[in-house]
A and B are shown apart, each in its own frame.
Chain A
């Protein structure tokens, strides 16, 4: 069957068997391997992507269910100008260790900040509740997300790349 969706601002299309999950669609048909295959049953959050503004597990959706919708993956965050503020703060503070959970954590955090520019620590914890990290203990992630939220609020024009076409090209 044909599945056509918008990924990081670009229309992408592929012929896939019906049992193809969104995760397999992204990784194996579009070669976007940023979303990770962890548990593959919705427990670990390593496959988190943003679907129409909401964080979802790409492993728990059929590609067909995402047909016609808008998906943002980790590949859509950095621009030619540089990393997304969340990526930057995670890099600078060592918020990730092995990094496997990173794309999912960062996208959960982005979905949170897009809806709630001034989250409390508890709200950040709740937003990351579905993202398992076995290395870090989450502390630097939570601090980093709060730091980014503060910086972004103090900058008049958001430093986030817009989700529109043209500004989402990979660097």
Chain B
């Protein structure tokens, strides 16, 4: 990796100032995506601002039908948290499917959201659950937050502070993993609220997470795996690579969605 200047942020304000003051500064949380990208020289920030030293960013709180997770919550902490397991077990399950134990001990929720890898797991949960991303400047609805391939609505000196997940009646996440990288070839998060059902897909879209309106409509009328029988999605906008063609990914979206609904219904 290229050299850079390293800063330990003392507070969120301090981090924001450091990010704004350098030419091409980036925040670093767990570093499980950023450090490999820097080693590949796909990223070469002039400065790294370490958020790991800021206190209070790893809170896990459930209150009034909302689960709030701090941006520095490690995937391992989310998957083993009794609060998450009790309030939103689908999210605990999702966190436990990310990477391997070593990656889960370092990788963070905020880092995953801000990176918006098209095969990352958290974006599907955030969109399906209608999460709110709380930043150092404002609050952004998850659907407005993810804007494209590795792109988000975040400004250069804006930092993810937390994510608020509304607690659904039922939810589940089903992931078809790439057996080598353990990233989602296709991952489908299904959430049922009293007034709405949302289905969000990661891994399949060429430009990241997306919703499936036809599935949502069918599930709103009948929240059962059978309601999705015969429904499929178009290959337009889907990713195709050596691991899976767009056609295969489209097929997997249907299969994973049906499994997720079945799992949500327990």
Q: Flag the segment in A15-23, A134-142, A160-168 that touches B.
A: A15-23
**Residue B100 is within 8 A (CB to CB) of chain A in the complex:** yes
Q: Flag the segment in A5-13, A52-60, A79-87 that touches B.
A: A52-60
Number of chain A interface residues as a range: 20 to 34
Once the chains are docked, how many angstroms separate the CA of A41 from the CA of B41?
12
CB distance from B233 to the nearest CB of A (A): 30
**Residue A45 is within 8 A (CB to CB) of chain B in the complex:** yes
Q: Of residues 33 to 82 in B, which have CB atoms within 8 Å of A's CB atoms?
A: 35-36, 39-40, 48, 50, 52, 76
Once the chains are docked, how many angstroms separate the CA of A18 from the CA of B181?
28
B100 and A45 contacting across the interface, CB-CB below 8 Å: yes
Once the chains are docked, how many angstroms separate the CA of A1 from the CA of B39?
20
B39 and A41 contacting across the interface, CB-CB below 8 Å: yes
B102 and A108 contacting across the interface, CB-CB below 8 Å: yes
Interface residues on chain B, number (Cβ under 8 Å): 27
Once the chains are docked, how many angstroms separate the CA of A108 from the CA of B104?
13
B4 and A19 contacting across the interface, CB-CB below 8 Å: yes
B32 and A42 contacting across the interface, CB-CB below 8 Å: yes
User: Which partner residue on chain B sits nearest A21 by CB separation?
Assistant: B35
The digit string for B2-44, where 1 denotes a CB below 8 A from any CB of A, is 1111101000000000000000000010011001100110000
What residues of chain A have their CB less than 8 Å away from a CB belonging to chain B? 1, 17-19, 21, 40-43, 45, 48, 51, 54-57, 59-62, 64-65, 108, 111, 126-127, 129-130
In the assembled complex, 14 residue pairs joining A and B whose CB atoms fall closer than 8 Å, in A order, are A18-B3, A18-B5, A41-B36, A42-B99, A42-B103, A45-B100, A54-B76, A57-B106, A60-B31, A60-B103, A61-B35, A64-B8, A108-B101, A127-B101
